[in-house]
Structure 1
Amino acid sequence: MRKVSRSALVPYSALQMYALVEDVLTYPEFLPWCTGSTLHSKDSETIEASLELQSSGIKKTFRTRNSLQPGVAMGIALVGGPFAHLAGRWRFEQLGDDGSKVSLEMEFEFENRVTDALFGHYFEETCNSLIDSFTQRAHAIYG
């Protein structure tokens, strides 16, 4: 099983960063690996969505159900896709008026060795770069 744990201090509020992570329909606009996103359902407590990712001309789609704590946290749970296991958590901690701390913890295992050989390292690197990608998106949106 692969695990990723990243955090960063950013000059944006916890609510601003949370809003970007929650807005899955915009992911293809700024995440180069994300070629599509579909929102299946959303209410005040959960959001269920699918993301399509592409590497070396091969596309894979996975679906998650995420538990929502606006401005605080978002839990990630696998519904379906090429994983035997996928779970994670975003955390957003306000640090006074100067910004916030954003953290991401992910663990995943692909369903078979072929998929892991094709996507494992790529998906791990993608997870490692997510906070940077969302920080760049925040700069583009919020200035």
Structure 2
Amino acid sequence: MPGIHEVHRLPYSAEQMFDLVADVGRYQEFLPWVVATRVKSDNGSEMIADMLVGFKALREKFTSRVEKVRPREINVHYVDGPMRDLDNKWIFHPVSDTSCDVEFDVRFTFRNALFEKLAGQYFDKAFRKMVSAFEARAEDLYGAPQDS
């Protein structure tokens, strides 16, 4: 199953980054290709959410179950949509009171093997664009990093 695993050190606390990632209802404000989100239920430790993604005339809806273990981990499990499988995991490793390592792992399988091969060629670029969007959102919410 194709995927990406990366770790980024960020100048924000693990709690801040957890809150940013867990705020699925605001993804359309800053993530590329996210047209709309709808949180169907959220009890604090588990959320069910729909996400409408689009590029030009293409639109697809994904439903996911999001398990939250505050402030350490967020696991996203694919429930329904155009893919066969899509799971990702965020782990927030505190480094200090004002920084953390954000570990991100995503694995996916398309229903169509040819589409998976084609999409896989662009996945890395799309992934990097989304990582940059999360980092820019953190700066918008929490301020620019301070030099030590």
Q: So what's the TM-score if we normalise by structure 1?
A: 0.89
Structure 1 segment 60-79 matched on structure 2, within 5 A: 60-79=60-79
Map of 1:27 onto structure 2: 27
Residue 40 of structure 2 corresponds to: 40
Q: In structure 1, what is the Cα distance between the partners aligned to 2:80 and 2:74?
A: 18
Aligned residues: 143
Where does the alignment leave 5 or more consecutive residues of structure 2 unmatched?
Answer: 144-148
Moved more, 129-138 or 59-68: 129-138
**SS of residue paired to 2:126:** helix
CA RMSD, 1 decimal = 1.8
1:78-130 superposed Cα distances (whole Å, 9 cap, x missing partner): 11001111112001011112400111101001112465367554455333443
Q: Which runs of structure 2 are paired with 1:49-88 in the superposition (5 Å)?
A: 49-88=49-88
- In structure 1, the residue matched to 2:14 is 14
Relative to 1, partners in 2 of residues 1:7 and 1:130: Cα closer, same or farther, differing over 3 Å? farther
Question: Which residue pairs with 1:134 in the alignment?
Answer: 134
- In our comparison, the structure showing a higher alpha carbon Rg is 2
Rounded Cα–Cα distance in structure 2 between residues aligned with 1:135 and 1:91: 15
Alignment partner, residue 94 of structure 1: 94
AA at the equivalent of 2:66 = N
Identity %: 29
Matched-pair contact (CA < 8 Å) for 1:41–1:49: yes
Q: What is the TM-score when the length of structure 2 is the normalising length?
A: 0.87
